[in-house]
Structure 1
């Protein structure tokens, strides 16, 4: 009997761009099993490539899970939910209501909320397709015979690790390897019941370590494709989430040596090359080049965040920096100018913007989507050094932070800010700088969990302003969705 994942959903034809009519004749076109792909992969070499391309497209696809909901658009949709949950992104005005429940922290405490279901299906569908590719190419332990097979296996394992990593961050309150947290399927193991987090972390580390080896020497044609550095980035995050800071620093430093940092001019309009809107920016590690032929309109991350795009941020659903966080950005820091102050909205009009800069002007979206950049790993390396306990760790962290801050605040201010710090005060400063630097990029939530922080909302939130939440409180993690609990008798929603 074939095993089918309830939580993984069915593999739909959207993932298999290489299929032709002859191949599909006589098959169920909405369900392609790993056995089917394995049987035909020799005759249809584009099939596995089509599966990987399907994941790549799914990550930025509007309506990909629900077909209808305006906050359903892949990883960047999850990024907004994470940024709102930890409070750094404020829903500062609400005209249409799409983010009312997220901003009011209802989804994390109510398993019937559709945000939980969208996140769950999104990641498990990626896992399902990645497992199919891995199985079809020979399984978890296969030794690929050529460079093309190495690339396919390396990318598939990175996608599987990426999805499990985010599920662990979102559905477990804090790192506890013994806690049973999620259903798990890696081809060799099939469990509809929850398995210990440590088992899944082991799989993530194994997948990424192997992917880095497999992708060594591969040069990608575009930054939306997975290469070795993307896998190294996720391995750095995974080690840090596990408290393995020396290992996290090694991986982070690999990325620091491979990419150029964002320049002071690029940080804020009207600097040269300013705006986080171009995948060709040298500091971007992973992102997506949105082009006109993709037809993205209205239902997109840009529509939710950028008032220069014809969509919700312009029409009355403002996404702003939390004003308490904003108040901690010192005068003279160029990043303070990323946010509009004239109307008090604090929208990120000088960080994320359509280059045309006409309010409501961008209808077909061609500004690019960012998933990962090198500053994440400069900050993570400094954090890891400070937490490592190694001799000279704090000195290394301080030197890195002074270098990081100098283009943002000037050399004298950078030194004056960082030099006196040590211990928890230094860690608090690195965490603060992570929140400021990566605002709106979906990374503050990960830093909150990693640093076991308590977050306090400012005054510009429509909901829950002034309230504080510990990283492991009910409100800071998501719930296994109702549909999974109904369909899977081996699971419950407690996390």
Structure 2
């Protein structure tokens, strides 16, 4: 029987913690790294400096304030995963006691370029790009190739991180992939000054070239077996990113090949059904995880974190009332024979993920200093991308086979998959992605790839339908960029 939890809704966090926060811009430099010339010169004497600079890119993904503000929702990549999940409509904000993300979920910030929430992801991803450019500039010769074998692995990681940042920017700040549409300023060296908007094709050509270069430079790179080694981008992460990018641009054969490259490595088994509610999605050592971050006490994360925003078992906003749940319509679409339905507990008309994301002790408010890990990519995404791209290419047989690999480990009666074809198959793949990856920041990307119209049936909205390219679902280039870039 599905457990129904009676959640504590009267807990109030101390005002000194919750209200001592603002959206004032931080007076910090855009980079904590050496300059490109300084890094280049220093690396001649100490090559490990490049390693440290690459590690700094990964730390930016989890640090507070990397979006340039002091807000408790300025928490790195996972904060923007929440942004995008709320915009996709699959995640609903079921309480607004403290107000974090309220204007995002109400689709107010996306139509006002002066809103702080438009600035944060722009600042964060360009910060990644700027720092990746420093490493790249210090690692390449006059022909743009790796100076030597000692730098190629760092160069590969930096190029992959630059591509990752541009890919998310292109999704968040453009209504859809349009090769001819002016999209983003494109910076590929630290010496680039203010640039005009490059077209969608120019942006995606740069992303693809970076990822293909990264795949070449990382071909012989192997991560270690420690949990923290999954912080590091390797060729599997690169292929995973390529699968997303090619699926977005409509190059379905290449998307399937990239996803297949990760699947065929046989390093990442699908999470078994009996672990869907006992795993907690809280440990980077989980075999199905391709890329994640091993959170340590030294990272100094507290309620100002993804776990603080999502998990009632963390001393957190979620514990105190600002909970995130699954959209009603999406929850109702999950078959009763599907084990993922048990990841969500129905409480007061809310469908809360307390059996998917949780601190292992399961003590309400028990985790203060964060040690539960962040997931960025897992193998299940590759099966879904392979299925999606195959179906769009008209290869229903391959699409069904890939989908069945996943569904057979989720649903005790997966036989219905065999009867699907055409649009019904595509629709099922899209729905399966939304269910499988709920809360992991992937629904928004899928919404745009699949040109979907979302229907919101949650706490703040009732039966509102919004098409994927509605301006309310896409960020505005922030006023700070417009004021500082004479080309805009």
Please indicate, yes or no, whether the TM-score normalized by the shorter chain is above 0.5.
Answer: yes
**In 1: Cα distance, 2:162 partner to 2:354 partner:** 34
Which runs of 5 or more structure 1 residues have no equivalent in the other structure?
A: 1-8, 17-31
Matched residue, 1:401:
403
Q: What is the SS of the residue equivalent to 1:377? A: helix
| Contact residue 243 and residue 258 of structure 2 kept, 8 A | yes
**In 1: Cα distance, 2:29 partner to 2:131 partner:** 7
> What does 1:222-301 correspond to in 2, within 5 Å?
222-258=229-265, 259-269=268-278, 274-301=279-306
Q: What is the SS of the residue equivalent to 2:136? A: helix
| TM-aligned CA deviation for residue 13 of structure 1 | 5.6
| TM-aligned CA deviation for residue 268 of structure 1 | 1.4
| Contact residue 382 and residue 397 of structure 1 kept, 8 A | yes
Matched residue, 1:193:
196
| Contact residue 298 and residue 310 of structure 1 kept, 8 A | yes
| TM-aligned CA deviation for residue 186 of structure 1 | 1.0
1:208 equivalent in alignment to 2:208 = no
| TM-aligned CA deviation for residue 144 of structure 1 | 3.0
| Contact residue 69 and residue 120 of structure 2 kept, 8 A | no
Matched residue, 2:137:
135
Which runs of 5 or more structure 2 residues have no equivalent in the other structure?
A: 1-26
| Contact residue 383 and residue 405 of structure 2 kept, 8 A | no
| TM-aligned CA deviation for residue 189 of structure 1 | 6.6
Matched residue, 1:414:
414
| TM-aligned CA deviation for residue 488 of structure 1 | 1.3
**In 2: Cα distance, 1:437 partner to 1:455 partner:** 17
Q: What is the SS of the residue equivalent to 1:485? A: helix
**In 1: Cα distance, 2:480 partner to 2:49 partner:** 31
| TM-aligned CA deviation for residue 407 of structure 1 | 1.9
Map Cα deviations across residues 168-196 of structure 1 (whole Å, 9 max, x no partner).
11111111111111111112976521111
**In 1: Cα distance, 2:143 partner to 2:382 partner:** 30
**In 2: Cα distance, 1:139 partner to 1:106 partner:** 46
- Shift in CA distance, 111/139, structure 1 to aligned 2, threshold 3 Å: farther
Matched residue, 2:474:
477
Aligned residues: 455
| Contact residue 85 and residue 445 of structure 1 kept, 8 A | yes
The one of 222, 247, 251 aligned to 1:219: 222
Matched residue, 2:423:
424
| TM-aligned CA deviation for residue 147 of structure 1 | 3.9
Map Cα deviations across residues 277-329 of structure 1 (whole Å, 9 max, x no partner).
11001100000111122221110001111111001000010100111100000
**In 2: Cα distance, 1:140 partner to 1:403 partner:** 47
- Shift in CA distance, 251/140, structure 1 to aligned 2, threshold 3 Å: farther
Matched residue, 1:3:
none
- Shift in CA distance, 340/406, structure 1 to aligned 2, threshold 3 Å: same
- Shift in CA distance, 263/136, structure 1 to aligned 2, threshold 3 Å: same
| Contact residue 194 and residue 486 of structure 2 kept, 8 A | no
| Contact residue 318 and residue 324 of structure 2 kept, 8 A | yes
Moved more, 320-329 or 339-348: 339-348
**In 2: Cα distance, 1:142 partner to 1:394 partner:** 41
Moved more, 217-226 or 143-152: 143-152
Matched residue, 1:383:
388
Matched residue, 1:121:
123
1:107 equivalent in alignment to 2:127 = no
| TM-aligned CA deviation for residue 429 of structure 1 | 0.4
**In 2: Cα distance, 1:173 partner to 1:12 partner:** 27
Map Cα deviations across residues 92-146 of structure 1 (whole Å, 9 max, x no partner).
1110011110110111111111111000000001111111111111258444365
| Contact residue 385 and residue 396 of structure 1 kept, 8 A | yes
Map Cα deviations across residues 49-72 of structure 1 (whole Å, 9 max, x no partner).
222111110101122233511000
Q: What is the SS of the residue equivalent to 1:41? A: helix
Q: Which runs of 4+ in 1 moved over 6 A?
A: none
Q: What is the SS of the residue equivalent to 1:186? A: coil
**In 1: Cα distance, 2:142 partner to 2:307 partner:** 37
**In 2: Cα distance, 1:397 partner to 1:140 partner:** 44
**In 2: Cα distance, 1:224 partner to 1:81 partner:** 22
After TM superposition, the score normalised by the length of structure 2 is: 0.90
| Contact residue 11 and residue 129 of structure 1 kept, 8 A | no
| TM-aligned CA deviation for residue 435 of structure 1 | 0.2
| Contact residue 134 and residue 140 of structure 1 kept, 8 A | no
**In 1: Cα distance, 2:233 partner to 2:357 partner:** 24
**In 1: Cα distance, 2:405 partner to 2:243 partner:** 21
